[in-house]
A and B are shown apart, each in its own frame.
Chain A
Amino acid sequence: MQRRTFLKATVVGGGAVLGFDVSRAEAEMREFKVSRTTETRSTCPYCAVSCGVIIHTLGDQAKNVVPAVVHVEGDPDHPISRGTLCPKGATLKDDITHRRRLLSPRVRRPGSDHWEDISWDEAIAKIARHVKDTRDRTFVARNARGEVVNRTPGIAMIGGCTDTNEFNFLQWKVVTALGVPYRDTQARV
């Protein structure tokens, strides 16, 4: 029962108490729910077809609005997908808004059987300490044949296929900076 219809019914209905009221909530075409949302053109994160999507977020980017995803639809301009999506793409709203998404950093202490919350600063500091200690302890400047190799076999780094090219380049820079030889990504599997 739309708000407008309800008002109509009560006003007219009031008079009906005494007599017979024959007016009724007339069927009407339902409200179009995304007429004033903000549209962002983006790309689906899932497979390599790279379908274009339009992400509808709450509000018109006014300052006091925290945008939330209300609907995701295909981008008709994208030359490959032309507005279509597969079931995963069509439910992107679920992926962005579902409440099992992690919201803050956590740590599992050695030997513990549960997570503990940790602040960003403390997490980064402890990770940096681990990285430096492991690198210093396992650094191999020269291999068994005496050749200069400068590698850190104590660290392995994987991932990147769901990340941007730019981030992958930054990852390669960090891998090179730390001398990490064990480096792989989903492309392998």
Chain B
Amino acid sequence: MSSGAPSSLADPAVLRARRTEDVVVGDEIVRHRLASRVIHWSVALLFFLALFSGLPIWTPVLGWMAHLLGGLNVCRWLHPWAGLLFFLAMAAMFVHWLGDMRLEPPDREWLRPRKMVEYMKHEGDEAEVGKYNGGQKLFFFAVALGAAGLIVSGLVLWFPLSFPRMASELATLLHDLTFILFVVAVVLHVYLGTAAEPGTFHSMVRGTVTRRWARFHHPRWYREVTGERPRHP
């Protein structure tokens, strides 16, 4: 506990979430400590900054968006830098969460569309779901791969004149394809992280989840954290 007396207003779990996670505080469990959340939100913020400064360059249809940022010239200047920072933040996130994201055998099933559909219908046996389910792990690696694709093609597009002509043409395609897939993934991620599974957003904002939420969504993680009788050794 911090040395000073906790102010009555602060929720002890939230306070605890500043330093450590996977620990029970009262009837809440700390899921994401401060560092995780800061990294996550800086990645998110930079992603949208790069997105909104890139979209007017991508299509004139969104030309009006450029004016929000001060015109296409500003976008042309901002987008590469935002992209670079986004990549650095992604790298930090990748290192930060790589440990938790190790793929275990059950996660493999998520590759098959049948599992995906089951999840969508909220069916499927989730008993063994750890702190992160297969979908989240795959999303993690997919996004990391996407970031790599974006930076490589982005650098070529940033300095088209110092690469052979074919390189900049391929880079255009790669950057565009990766960006599309990335946006699709992020839309799903945001949806699942907010509307689809209430409580999740709170975990990334405040860092804590309720015991009910943990037991329902991530049973194995819940058991590990609370020490209750694990169903399997």
Contacts and interface: CB of A to CB of B under 8 A. Distances in A.
Interface in B48-106: 63-64, 67-68
Interface of A: 16, 20-22
B158 to A, nearest CB: 24
Contacts of B64: 20, 22
A17 B68 CA distance: 9
Contacts of A16: 67
A21 B67 CA distance: 7
Overall SS of chain B's interface: helix
Overall SS of chain A's interface: loop
Given A16-B67, A22-B64, 6 more contacts: A20-B64, A20-B67, A20-B68, A21-B67, A22-B63, A22-B67
Contacts of A20: 64, 67-68
A22 B68 CA distance: 11
Interface of B: 63-64, 67-68
A16 B70 CA distance: 11
Nearest to A17: B67
8 contacts: A16-B67, A20-B64, A20-B67, A20-B68, A21-B67, A22-B63, A22-B64, A22-B67
A22 B63 CA distance: 8
Contacts of B67: 16, 20-22
B59 to A, nearest CB: 14
A21 B68 CA distance: 9
B65 to A, nearest CB: 8
A15 to B, nearest CB: 12
Contacts of B63: 22
Contacts of A21: 67
Nearest to A16: B67
A67 B68 CA distance: 48
Contacts of B68: 20
A20 B63 CA distance: 10
Contacts of A22: 63-64, 67
Nearest to A20: B64
A5 to B, nearest CB: 14
A16 B67 CA distance: 9
A87 B68 CA distance: 50
A16 B63 CA distance: 14
Q: Which 8 A-B pairs have the closest CB atoms?
A: A20-B64, A21-B67, A22-B64, A20-B67, A16-B67, A22-B63, A20-B68, A22-B67
B224 to A, nearest CB: 52
B70 to A, nearest CB: 11
A176 to B, nearest CB: 67
A22 B66 CA distance: 10
A22 B67 CA distance: 8
B63, B64, B67, B68, most chain A CB atoms within 10 A = B67
A19 to B, nearest CB: 9
A118 to B, nearest CB: 55
